[in-house]
Amino acid sequence: MRKTFAVALMLAASLGLAACDKKSEDKAQDATQHAEQAQEKMNEAQDKVNEAAKENAEAAKDQAESNKAAAEEAAPVAPAAPEAAPATK
């Protein structure tokens, strides 16, 4: 009786564990897919950050050129220096 009960219990436990394994495999596959999707989105976000940085650098360069041109336009033009009178002895 004890052997029969032990065998039946082991069979039930084996079937129970076998059923659980299928679900955990599915969850592992889902987790892998989600991780891949997350990695793709991270790559896309990094590309957008890089693009924004390039645009900011170009804007800063354009602003610097604009400031330089404005400074040159606003600078007063120095009058020509008068010629020195000939020295008398």
Please write the tens of the pLDDT for every residue from 18-75. 766 567 778 888 999 999 999 999 999 999 999 999 999 999 999 999 999 998 888 7
Taking alpha carbons only, the member of 1, 25, 5 closest to residue 13 is 5
Whether the per-residue pLDDT at 5 is higher than 70: the answer is: yes
Q: Token pair for residue 71?
A: 């400074």
Instruction: Write out the two tokens for 75.
Output: 């600078």
Angstrom distance (rounded) from CA 23 to CA 25:
5
